[in-house]
C-alpha cells in the first residue's frame, strides 16, 4: 500500500546511534567508561546488570561523577537518554540504606505518569537495597499516600501540587531533605508549577544538593537555574531540543480534518505501524479519534487525557505497555513521562503549538534499544507552527507525498474560513500591522462608516435650516 511505500522512502535526518551489544543508547567513551568505573556499590551494579544496562549512556558518563562529588547540576537532556538513571544511581549510592523516618531525597516531576515512572526506576535500581521509596501525585486519594509516607521513607517522588497538599496537611516532614531533583523543569514551568516550587524551596533545608534537568533550555529555565543552583556543573548531552537521534521524522501536508482521518486510517492499516501513540492537542480531539478508531477500525485502542480518572489512565498505560493494545491516543499532558519500549511510531494528528511538546512527543518513540518514526499531519494553518518547530530543532522535517490511494476530501467552507482566520492571526502575530483577509473587510466597513460620518457632518442639519 502507498502509505508503506512512503514510510519506506522516508529520509533519515539523523545518523542512527551506535549499537552496543544490548543497548542502542550511544556510549560516550566505549573503551574507557563502564559502570564499574563510577565505583558504585555491589547492590547497584547487580541491579544495573539485571536491567541489562551494558554501558553508561553519555548523560550518565557526564552526570554521575559530579553528582557523586556533591555538586549541583544543570542538565539538558531529553527523555530516552538515560537521564533518570543518571541522577538516581549517584543518589542511591549516597543514601545507601534506610535511615530515619523522613525522606532524604525529593524528586519533583510535572506529571503523575512521570512521577510513577521515576519511582518504578527507583524500585528497579534500589532492588538490592533496603531503601524505602514511594511516589505521590494528584488525581487519586491522599490517604494511602500519607500512610506510605508515615511508614518511613528515604526517597520521595512527587508532583508539586500534591506534595504541597500533603506538606500543608502536616503529614510530611521535609527537614531531612539532602538532595532535590527537579525533572523536566521546562515542563513544570509550562504547567504553572512555579508558585508551588518557590514555596517548597522556602521550607527545604538550605544546605542541600540540587539537580535540575530539562529537555529544553528556554530563558525561564536558565533564570530558575540561576536562582536555585549553586556553582552548578552544566551538562548537555544533545544540542538544545534536538530530537533523539533514533527517530526518523516524516511530515504529511494534509488539506483538512477529514483527510487527516483518512490518512490515519490508511497508516493504521499498514502492518509497519506495530505500536503507535497518536497525539492530539486537545482532549476533545483525542476522545473523538479514540471513538472513531474503536468503532470503525479496531478495539485495540485506548485513550488517555486529563479527563480520564487516574486508574483508567494507569490501566490503559499498562495495557499498552504489555502489548494488549496496539494504539494509544493521548494528549500532551497525559503523555508526559510515558516510557514504553518498542513504540514503533508516533503520529502527531495535529501540530502542537507549544513547540517543546513536539520534541517530547517524538521522544516517545526511538527510546532505548529501538528505532522509531514520528509522522506529523499538517494543514496549511499549521505550517506556521512547523516552521517554528523546525527552527527549534534546527532541522527541516522531510515532507512525504500523500499516499496515492488516500482519499482526499474537499475542505468544508467553515473549516476553510477557520483556517484562513488562523493564518491571519499568525501573520498578525508576526506583523501587528498586517490587516488580513477578514480584518480588511472590517476595515472597509470602518472606512465606509467614517466616510459616512464625514458626509453627515458636512450635510446641513435640518434643525438649523428651520432656524
Ligand atoms: P530515560 O531517559 O531516563 O527516560 O531512560 C530511557 C530508557 O533507557 C529507560 O527505559 C531506561 O531503563 C533505559 N536506560 C537507561 N540507562 C541505560 C543504559 N545505560 N543502557 C541501556 N538502557 C538504559
Tell me: the pLDDT tens digits for 354-396? 887 888 888 888 766 567 899 999 999 999 999 989 887 878 9
Choose which residue among 25, 79, 122 to substitute to test ligand 1 binding: the one with the highest number of ligand atoms within 8 A of its C-beta.
Answer: 25
For the CA of 60, the nearest atom of ligand 1: 19
CA of 57 to the centre of ligand 1 (A): 8
- Was domain 17-236 assigned CATH 3.30.530.20? no
For the CA of 81, the nearest atom of ligand 1: 2
CA of 81 to the centre of ligand 1 (A): 6
The protein residue with its alpha carbon nearest to ligand 1, atom 11, reads 82
**Three cell numbers, residue 158:** 512527587
CA of 23 to the centre of ligand 1 (A): 9
Band (pLDDT 50/70/90 cuts) for residue 20 is very low
Strand, helix or coil for residue 103 = coil
Q: Sheet of 345-348: strands edge to edge?
A: 301-304, 327-331, 276-280, 345-348, 372-378, 247-253, 399-400
DSSP 35: G
Q: Which residue has the cell 480534518?
A: 257
For the CA of 368, the nearest atom of ligand 1: 8
CB 365 within 8 A of CB 372: yes
Mark residue 95 as left, alpha or beta (left: phi above 0; alpha: psi -120 to 50; beta: remaining).
alpha
**pTM of the predicted structure, to 2 decimals:** 0.63
Q: How far is CA 364 from the centre of its chain?
A: 8
Residues whose CB falls within 8 Å of the CB of residue 1, separated by 6 or more in sequence, listed in order: 266, 269, 270, 403, 405
Q: For the segment 132-186, what is each residue's pLDDT rounded down to a tens digit?
A: 999 999 988 999 999 999 999 999 999 999 999 999 999 999 999 999 999 999 9
Higher pLDDT pick, 436 / 42:
42
Give the CATH fold of the 247-413 domain: Rossmann fold (3.40.50)
Q: What are the angstrom distances between the C-alpha of 184 and each of 8, 31, 117, 130, 251? A: 33, 31, 13, 28, 27
CA of 445 to the centre of ligand 1 (A): 61
Q: Which residue has the cell 530530537?
A: 243
**Three cell numbers, residue 7:** 514510510
CA of 52 to the centre of ligand 1 (A): 10
Q: For the segment 287-301, what is each residue's pLDDT rounded down to a tens digit?
A: 999 999 999 999 999
Contacts 24+ apart (CB under 8 A), 425-430: 426/381, 426/384
Residue 321 and residue 338: Cα distance in Å, rounded? 10
Choose which residue among 38, 84, 87, 117 to substitute to test ligand 1 binding: the one with the highest number of ligand atoms within 8 A of its C-beta.
Answer: 84
**Most confident stretch, 187-196, 212-221, 284-293:** 284-293
Cβ of residue 80 lying under 6 Å from some atom of ligand 1: yes
Per the prediction, the chain carries an average pLDDT of 85
**What pLDDT score does 448 carry?**
58
CATH 3.40.50.300-classified regions of the chain:
17-236, 247-413
Amino acid at each position: 500500500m502507498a502509505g508503506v511505500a512512503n514510510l519506506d522512502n522516508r529520509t533519515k535526518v539523523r545518523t542512527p546511534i551506535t549499537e552496543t551489544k544490548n543497548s542502542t543508547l550511544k556510549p560516550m567513551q566505549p573503551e574507557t567508561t563502564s559502570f564499574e568505573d563510577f565505583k558504585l556499590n555491589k547492590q547497584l551494579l547487580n541491579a544495573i546488570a539485571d536491567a541489562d544496562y551494558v554501558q553508561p549512556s553519555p548523560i550518565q558518563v557526564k552526570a554521575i561523577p559530579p553528582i557523586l562529588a556533591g555538586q549541583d547540576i544543570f542538565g539538558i537532556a531529553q527523555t530516552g537518554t538515560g537521564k533518570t538513571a543518571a541522577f538516581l544511581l549517584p543518589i542511591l549510592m549516597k543514601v545507601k540504606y534506610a535511615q530515619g523516618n523522613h525522606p532524604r531525597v525529593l524528586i519533583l516531576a510535572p506529571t503523575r505518569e512521570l512521577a510513577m515512572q521515576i519511582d518504578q526506576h527507583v524500585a528497579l535500581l534500589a532492588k538490592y537495597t533496603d531503601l524505602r521509596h514511594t511516589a505521590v501525585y494528584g488525581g487519586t486519594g491522599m490517604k494511602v499516600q500519607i500512610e506510605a509516607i508515615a511508614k518511613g521513607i528515604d526517597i520521595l517522588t512527587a508532583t508539586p501540587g500534591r506534595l504541597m497538599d500533603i506538606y500543608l496537611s502536616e503529614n510530611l516532614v521535609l527537614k531531612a531533605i539532602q538532595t532535590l531533583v527537579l525533572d523536566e523543569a521546562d515542563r513544570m514551568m509550562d504547567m504553572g508549577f512555579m508558585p508551588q516550587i518557590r514555596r517548597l524551596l522556602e521550607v527545604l533545608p538550605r544546605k542541600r544538593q540540587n539537580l535540575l534537568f530539562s529537555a529544553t533550555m528556554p530563558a525561564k529555565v536558565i533564570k530558575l537555574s540561576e536562582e536555585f543552583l549553586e556553582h552548578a556543573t552544566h551538562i548537555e548531552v544533545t544540542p538544545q531540543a534536538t530530537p533523539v537521534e533514533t527517530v526518523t521524522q516524516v511530515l504529511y501536508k494534509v488539506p483538512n480534518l477529514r483527510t487527516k482521518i483518512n490518512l490515519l486510517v490508511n497508516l493504521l492499516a499498514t502492518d509497519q505501524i506495530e505500536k503507535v501513540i497518536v497525539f492530539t492537542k486537545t482532549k476533545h480531539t483525542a476522545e473523538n479519534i479514540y471513538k472513531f478508531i474503536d468503532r470503525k477500525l479496531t478495539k485495540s485502542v485506548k485513550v488517555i487525557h486529563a479527563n480520564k480518572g487516574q486508574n483508567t489512565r494507569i490501566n490503559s498505560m499498562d495495557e499498552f505497555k504489555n502489548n494488549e493494545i496496539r494504539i494509544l491516543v493521548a494528549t500532551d499532558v497525559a503523555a508526559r513521562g510515558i516510557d514504553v519500549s518498542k513504540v514503533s511510531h508516533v503520529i502527531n494528528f495535529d501540530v502542537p503549538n507549544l513547540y517543546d511538546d513536539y520534541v517530547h512527543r517524538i521522544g516517545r518513540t526511538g527510546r532505548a534499544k529501538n528505532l522509531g518514526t514520528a509522522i506529523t499531519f499538517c494543514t496549511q494553518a499549521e505550517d506556521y507552527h512547523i516552521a517554528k518547530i523546525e527552527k527549534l530543532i534546527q532541522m527541516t522535517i522531510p515532507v512525504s507525498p500523500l499516499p496515492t490511494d488516500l482519499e482526499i476530501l474537499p475542505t468544508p467552507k467553515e473549516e476553510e474560513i477557520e483556517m484562513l482566520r488562523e493564518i491571519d492571526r499568525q501573520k498578525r502575530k508576526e506583523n501587528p500591522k498586517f490587516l488580513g483577509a477578514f480584518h480588511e473587510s472590517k476595515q472597509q466597513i470602518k472606512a465606509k462608516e467614517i466616510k459616512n460620518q464625514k458626509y453627515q457632518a458636512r450635510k446641513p442639519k435640518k434643525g438649523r435650516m428651520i432656524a
